Structure 1
Amino acid sequence: MLGFLLAFGTAISEALKDVTSKHNLHHIDEYTAAFSMHLVQSLLLIPVVWYVGLEAMSPRFLWALLASSLLQLGVILLYFKAIKRSEISVTLPLITLTPLFMLITSPIMIGEFPSFLGLLGILTIVIGTYISNMSEDPKKIFAPFVSLVKNQGSRYMLLVAFIWSITANIDKIGVEETSPVFWAFSKDFVILFYLIPILWRKSNNPGLQIRNRKWPLLMVGFFKTTSVLAQMFAIQLILVPYVISIKRSSAVFIILYAFLFLNERKNIRNRIIGIIVIMIGLYIIAIS
């Protein structure tokens, strides 16, 4: 039960992070947003790592760290580009496809495969995501696939979903080799250094952007930190595909927020139906 509660905490933190990021990206570029998020997370975790102590770093850990940090660097830039260029209620639900990809990547990488009920729950969540992106016109049943062709933000987010299906399994390896806190800190601290030359080359006066949005950026980093820690502890307790399926239920909160506060009300009927189906999928996973 604790694993499911931690995974659900990850979903709430992810939703808060995404909503705050969307507001920030009206004022700053995606490179500054990515750098500041990892900077805040690293600063928050340094005292925690110092308190619990450093971990021995095996060759397996170092290979996992290299692979994860490079993949996550590309993902975070694609992610911010996606939510900056498109409605968050359209792009963000696509990340719930990550568990579907994990039905392939998890058995190959770490030998984990869900039970029958768990598999049913994952597929139910995927169906709910599809419904939430459907047009209300019954003749446009394949509209979500069409949007992947026409909408650049949707294409970016689909790629993010696939890469995350790989990095989530690498997280399991990193946690097994060290600890949830040390792995979370190490991975994002390395990414922070990767981002420095990118920020220098791509961003326009990032220092001024950060000063002007310091408190909202601090909130993003805080929500990212709570999300990562909850996820790392959760994958110690339950299967990685289950954790990521529950984590991606953050799309439910995003759709509701977009409807209530951002006036993104297109296809709201299908999105509400999609939310209900996603919640059914989460329940099936919880009892599996």
Structure 2
Amino acid sequence: MLGFLLAFGTAVSEALKDITSKHNLHHVDEYTAAFAMHLVQSVLLIPVVFFMGIELMSVRFLWTLLASSLLQLMVILLYFKAIKRSEISVTLPLITLTPLFMLITSPIMIGEFPNALGLVGIVLIVIGTYISNLSEDPKKIFAPFVSLVKNQGSRYMLMVAFIWSITANLDKIGVEETSPVFWAFTKDFTILVYLVPILLWKSKHPWLQIRNRKGPFMMVGFFRTTSVLAHMFALQLILVPYVITIKRSSAIFIILYAFFFLNEKKNFRNRIIGIFIVLSGLFVIAIS
């Protein structure tokens, strides 16, 4: 049950991070936003890492760190490209395919596969999240998949979903080799280092943007930190596909926020149906 609660906490923190990031991106470019988020997270975790002690880094850990950080950097760039080139309503549902990809990658990489009840829960959450992001027009129910043929942004997002199914398993290996806190810090600090030349190349006046948005950046970084820590600790307790599936349900919290605070009533019927299906999936995983 603790692993389920931690995964649920990851979903809540992830939603808060996405909501604050959305507001922040009205004022800064995406490269500065990505760099600042990882910078704040690294600063917050440094004292925790020193307090808990530096972990012994095995060869397996270093190879996992290299692979995970490079793949995560690729995901960041592909994700922003997808958002820029396509409508979110078309590309976002494709992210829900990550848990389904993990039914293939997890058994191969770490030997984990859900039981029958857990599998039902995963499918319910994927379907519910997908439905909640769709238009009420029944003709558009397969729009995200049709767009894979015509839309480059959708193809980018499909790649994001698949790569995440790999990096989630690498997170499990990294946590097993060291600890949740140390793995979270080393991975995101490495990504931060990668982002420096990209920031200097692609962003205009990044340091001025960071200085003018210190408060919002701190909020994004804080929610990112709580999300990552809850995620890493949850990986120690329950199967990786469960953690990622519950984490992806963060979209439901974003939908509720948009409904109550941004007065976004569009597609209300689909969203309510999707929320109930997701809640059913969460319940099934909790009792599995």
TM-score (norm 1): 0.93
Query: What is residue 8 of structure 2 aligned with on the other side?
Result: 8
- Are residues 133 and 263 of structure 1, via their aligned partners in 2, closer, same or farther at CA, if it must alter by over 3 Å? same
- Specify the code of the residue in structure 2 equivalent to 1:162: F
How far residue 208 of structure 1 moved from its aligned partner, in angstroms, is 0.8
1:231 aligns with 2:228: no
AA of the residue aligned to 1:191: I
Q: Look up the equivalent residue of 1:174 and give its one-letter code.
A: G
Q: Which 5+ residue runs of structure 2 have no aligned equivalent?
A: none
Q: Which digits, 9 at most, give the CA deviation of each residue in 1:76-124, with x for residues without a partner?
A: 2333454566676665454332111100110010000000000111111
Residue in structure 1 matched with residue 35 of structure 2 by the alignment: 35
- The C-alpha deviation readout for 1:236-265, integer Å capped at 9, x for no partner, is 011111111111110100111223334444
**1:134 maps to which residue?**
134
**Conservation of the 8 A alpha-carbon contact between 2:91 and 2:144:** no
Aligned to 2:112: 112
- The amino acid of 1:236's aligned partner reads Q
User: How far 1:53 moved relative to its partner?
Assistant: 0.6
CA distance in 2, matches of 1:260, 1:32: 29
Distance in 1, matches of 2:85 and 2:225, equals 25
Partner of 2:167: 167
With 62-71 and 119-128 compared, the bigger mean Cα shift is at: 119-128
Structure 2 counterparts to residues 1-288 of structure 1, below 5 A:
1-82=1-82, 91-148=91-148, 154-288=154-288
In 1, the alpha carbon distance for the partners of 2:201 and 2:41 equals 22
- Shift of residue 125, structure 1, vs aligned partner: 1.3
Once the two structures are aligned, what percentage of the paired residues are identical?
83
* Kept after mapping to 2: 8 A contact 1:88/1:258: no
* Cα distance change on mapping 1:192 and 1:168 into 2, 3 Å: same
Whether the 8 Å contact between 2:78 and 2:157 is mirrored in structure 1 is: yes
| Residues 82, 156 of structure 1: 8 Å contact kept | yes
CA contact under 8 A between 1:125 and 1:245: conserved in structure 2?
Answer: yes
Distance in 2 of aligned mates of 1:31 and 1:107: 34
In structure 1, give the amino acid aligned to 2:58: S
Which sections of structure 1, spanning at least 5 residues, go unmatched? none
Deviations 1:172-194 (A, max 9, x none): 00011000010000000111100
Q: Specify whether residues 250 and 150 from structure 1 end up closer, same or farther in structure 2 by C-alpha distance, changes over 3 A only.
A: farther
Q: Is the 8 A contact 2:10 2:230 kept in 1?
A: yes
Distance in structure 2 (CA, Å) of the matches to 1:94 and 1:139: 17
Give the drift of 1:144.
3.1
Conserved? CA contact 1:58–1:177, under 8 Å: yes
| TM-score between both structures, scaled by the size of structure 2 | 0.93
Choose 104-113 or 271-280, whichever is displaced more: 271-280
- When structure 1 is superposed on structure 2, of 147-156 and 137-146 the one drifting more is 147-156
The number of residues matched between the two structures is: 288
More divergent stretch after superposition (88-97 vs 278-287): 88-97
Name the SS of the counterpart of 1:57 in structure 2: coil
Q: Per-residue displacement from partner, 1:37-85 (whole Å, max 9, x unpaired)?
A: 1100000000000001101110100000000000011112333454566
Distance, in Å, in 2 between the alignment partners of 1:22 and 1:149 is: 28
Structure 1: distance between partners of 2:35 and 2:81:
14
Distance 1:130 1:240, change over 3 A: same
242-251 or 92-101: which moved more?
92-101
Q: Which moved more, 1:21-30 or 1:58-67?
A: 21-30
1:134–1:270: 8 Å Cα contact kept in structure 2?
yes
CA separation of 1:193/1:73 partners in 2, compared to 1, >3 Å: closer, same or farther?
same
- Does the 8 A contact of 1:15 with 1:250 survive in 2? yes
**Contact (CA 8 Å) 1:96, 1:161: kept in 2 or not?**
yes
Tell me if the contact between 1:132 and 1:273 (Cα under 8 Å) persists in the aligned partners.
yes
